[in-house]
Amino acid sequence: MSNTATLPGTPGPASVSSSAATLRHVRYVLGENPVTAGAFALFAAFVLVALFGPWIAPYDPLATNAASALRGPSAAHWFGTDQLGRDILSRVIVATGLDFGMAVAAVFISFALGSALGACAGYYGGWIDRTVSRFADTIMAFPLFVLAMAIVAALGNSVANIIYATAIINLPFYIRVARGEINVRRNAGFVEAARLSGNSEARILALHLFPNILPPIMVQISLNMGWAILNAAGLSFIGLGVRPPQPEWGIMVAEGASYMISGEWWVSFFPGVVLMLAVFCFNLLGDGLRDMIDPRRRT
């Protein structure tokens, strides 16, 4: 009995040892590259702050206090206060949720839509492939940030539209990765086998082929996250999307811009540094993830 139970798909010892091997590989890469381990820790900290920001923040991020406006960093206000006397530390903490939320939502949309379109293009070929590729090329024909600006301008000035714009300009990268990865496998042996055993084309694409593109797509996602945050913050820096009282890193830097050249550096400095750290963290993670998944492409 025990023999027949382990036969289909051989779960049992084989998969245990392979997952153990994966774990060992991950531990080896992290040990080899302490920077990646540090990036993981920083990422975890950012996620915690993003989730529990409103409860961690020492002050109300919107509470103004004219008596203590534009004070430098002190024991009471670690990051100082802005021109309305709002506590910058609290604003930076609360903003984490919004900035991460925008980036995650945008990257998720481009991942879901882009990989589906790319997978169909790579698998079916023909007019689907031509249409999807032409669509991707048209997006790439624009300087991407400029296209994002234009989309937000056309759809209207809101946070949701910033997310859509960021998602659209990232679409081509997912389409290309998914299309390429599916295309090289569409006639592989396991696909032929699945087809012969009576699976429908859509089922083969979704269940047999799609899981194969997840590793390269994961790398793309983590490299993309940093850029998505930069892009969203850049759009709100030039005054699109997020409305002023709401704390967001890009708009906070913009609000402090005029004080920077009169010496009140902390208004822009802290949100800017945190934004930079977040992007830096994602880029390191992306590089680390790529080393783990595809050691050949190490640079």
Please give the residue ranges that form the binding site for other proteins (CB under 8 A): 134, 137-138, 140-151, 153-156, 226, 230, 233-234, 237-240, 250, 253-254, 256-257, 260-263, 265, 268-269, 272-273, 275-276, 279-280, 283-284, 287, 299
Closest separation in Å from C-beta 265 to other proteins: 5
- Closest to other proteins by CB, 33 vs 65, is 33
- Closest to other proteins by CB, 210 vs 282, is 282
Closest separation in Å from C-beta 280 to other proteins: 4
Gap between the Cα atoms of 280 and 58, Å rounded:
26
- Closest to other proteins by CB, 43 vs 142, is 142
- Closest to other proteins by CB, 123 vs 270, is 270
- Tell me, what amino acid is at 201? E
Closest separation in Å from C-beta 281 to other proteins: 8
- Closest to other proteins by CB, 203 vs 243, is 243
